């Protein structure tokens, strides 16, 4: 996948900007608070139909304006594609090749990007909910079945919880809800397991390619089932917890209680790793994600690196760029361009106060 152009209108601090990207490395430079992350955020928004930074889309509209518009043309294999999102004060309109689409599931994942930013370090300290969000977000980008199963699961969970809050619980209705919810959870668990096993199979190897630290890093699935993954076992899980659920008025068993855990040398990583090791682990996780998406979709996602280089030592910066620059289109933001990057074939852009210009500094 190659992003050819992004046009922003009234997005964050951009009034109007049209940016033509190079198929390889693109470096966005500029002082603090000029619009570097905002540009990456617009691409994340098109990929997920939501921002990675905020929940309220209205904050994306330039102050004093009534709407915001992000348009992107990209190559999907040989095919040129165009997607657009208009954010209004009361919602958003998604367009594919100028035609509005009704469901965001038809839009999510058309443009596939993987972002790595310093905030990703929170993955270790956040609550399980945040790690489930990472799983759900990444799997949804490559699997529509997952996205639909997840949305049906959430609706059914709400119905089940409101039934549990009633004074007399209709057991027949609960039976039906349990059968439905177990069906969706079975699909979700299989996909989560495939995702985590796949990432786990790449992560240690990538870690060792990026650094000479000889630790073993793993990602483990904390599934709600201890036994074999089957529809029957999930249903049994709900049945076994039914009495407790009725007493507490809430669903205690299920995929909404799951987690994924990072381990270092077979111990919980959070307990034993240094700050640098955490940074390398999350970077390896993101690189493994690139492999996973490429394998599943047969298309390379675009890699967005937000202010990441300054956090790594010189050797690791070089290894990271060597690893990704041959295979992926990269958009990198940085306040200072490292010396070694200046020899690469790349396009350099300078951002100042929401204005972007392609400088003559790059080699393309
Ligand atoms: N809705 C908005 N309307 C106008 N300006 C906005 C809006 N939202 C954010 N901004 C402005 O965007 C700027 C921040 O942009 P951004 O986060 O992209 O900075 P950056 O270049 O990545 O900086 P840093 O190097 O510090 O990370 C701030 O000046 C902020 O006030
Ligand atoms: Mg920034």
Q: For residue 189, how far is its CA from the centre of ligand 2 (angstroms)?
A: 35
C-beta of 335 in contact with ligand 1 (< 6 A): yes
Residue 205 Cα, ligand 2 centroid: separation in angstroms?
A: 30
Q: b vs e for 33-46, b when ≥16 Cβ sit within 10 Å of the residue's Cβ?
A: ebbbbbbbbbbbbb
The chain-wide mean pLDDT, for the chain, equals: 94
Residue 362 phi, psi dihedral angles, 5° rounding: -75, 175
Contact 141, 198 (CB under 8 A): no
| 14-20, strands of its sheet edge to edge | 14-20, 2-11, 67-76, 79-88, 91-96, 99-101
Q: Which of 15, 38, 54, 331 to mutate to test the pocket of ligand 1 (most atoms within 8 A of CB)?
A: 38
Residues 6+ apart with CB under 8 A from 344: 24, 25, 321, 325, 363
Q: What is the DSSP letter of 199?
A: H
267-268, strands of its sheet edge to edge: 217-222, 259-264, 267-268
The total of other beta-carbon atoms located within 10 Å of residue 287's CB is 25
Q: Is the dihedral of CA 356, 358, 361, 364 positive or negative?
A: positive
Question: Cα angle vertex 106, ends 101, 112, to 5°?
Answer: 120
Give 79: exposed, middle or buried? Use CB within 10 Å, 0-12, 13-18, 19+: exposed
Q: Which two tokens stand for residue 29?
A: 């430079």
Secondary structure of residue 194 in the 3-state scheme: helix
Rounded to two decimals, what is the model's pTM? 0.91
Q: pLDDT tens-digit profile of 267-322?
A: 999 999 999 999 999 999 999 999 999 999 999 999 999 999 888 888 899 999 98
Is the minimum distance from the CB of 343 to ligand 1 under 6 angstroms?
Answer: no
Exposure string over 213-222, b if 16+ CB within 10 A, otherwise e = eebebbbebe
Low-confidence ranges of the chain (pLDDT < 50): none
Residue 273: CB atoms within 10 A of its CB come to 21
- Nearest ligand by distance to the CA of 34: 1
Angle between helix 275-297 and 314-325 (nearest 10):
0
167 CB within 6 A, ligand 1: no
The tokens of 184 are what? 């969706």
**Token pair recorded at residue 293:** 């998406």
Q: Mutual orientation of helices 128-142 and 275-297 as an angle, nearest 10°?
A: 30
Tokens representing residue 263 in the block? 């381990």
Instruction: State the Cα–Cα distance between residues 77 and 83, nearest whole angstrom.
Output: 16
């Amino acid at each position: 996948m190659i992003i050819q152009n992004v046009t922003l209108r009234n997005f964050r601090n951009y009034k109007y900007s049209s940016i033509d990207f190079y198929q390889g490395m693109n470096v966005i430079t500029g002082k603090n608070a000029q619009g570097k992350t905002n540009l990456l955020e617009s691409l994340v928004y098109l990929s997920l139909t939501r921002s990675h930074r905020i929940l309220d889309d209205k904050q994306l509209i330039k102050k004093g304006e009534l709407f915001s518009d992000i348009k992107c043309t990209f190559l999907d294999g040989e095919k040129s594609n165009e997607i657009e999102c208009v954010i209004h004060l009361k919602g958003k309109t998604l367009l594919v090749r100028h035609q509005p689409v009704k469901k965001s599931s038809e839009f999510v994942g058309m443009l596939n990007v993987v972002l790595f930013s310093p905030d990703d370090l929170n993955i270790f300290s956040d609550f399980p909910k945040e790690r489930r969000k990472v799983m759900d977000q990444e799997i949804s980008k490559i699997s529509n079945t997952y996205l639909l199963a997840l949305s049906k699961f959430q609706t059914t969970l709400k119905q089940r919880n409101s039934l549990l809050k009633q004074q007399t619980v209709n057991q027949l209705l609960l039976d039906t809800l349990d059968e439905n919810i177990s069906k969706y959870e079975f699909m979700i668990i299989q996909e989560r397991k495939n995702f985590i096993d796949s990432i786990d199979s790449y992560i240690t190897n990538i870690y060792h390619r990026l650094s000479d630290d000889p630790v073993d890093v793993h990602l483990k699935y904390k599934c709600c089932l201890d036994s074999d993954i089957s529809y029957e076992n999930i249903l049994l899980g709900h049945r076994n917890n039914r009495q407790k659920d009725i007493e507490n008025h809430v669903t205690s068993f299920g995929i909404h209680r799951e987690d994924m855990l990072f381990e270092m040398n077979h111990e919980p990583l959070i307990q034993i790793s240094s700050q640098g090791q955490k940074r390398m682990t999350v970077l390896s996780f993101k690189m493994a994600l690139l492999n996973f998406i490429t394998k599943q979709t047969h298309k390379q996602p675009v890699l967005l690196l937000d202010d990441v280089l300054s956090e790594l030592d010189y050797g690791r910066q070089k290894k990271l760029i060597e690893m990704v620059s041959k295979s992926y289109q990269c958009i990198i933001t940085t306040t200072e361009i490292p010396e070694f990057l200046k020899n690469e074939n790349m396009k350099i852009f300078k951002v100042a106060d929401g204005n972007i210009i392609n400088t003559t500094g790059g080699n393309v």
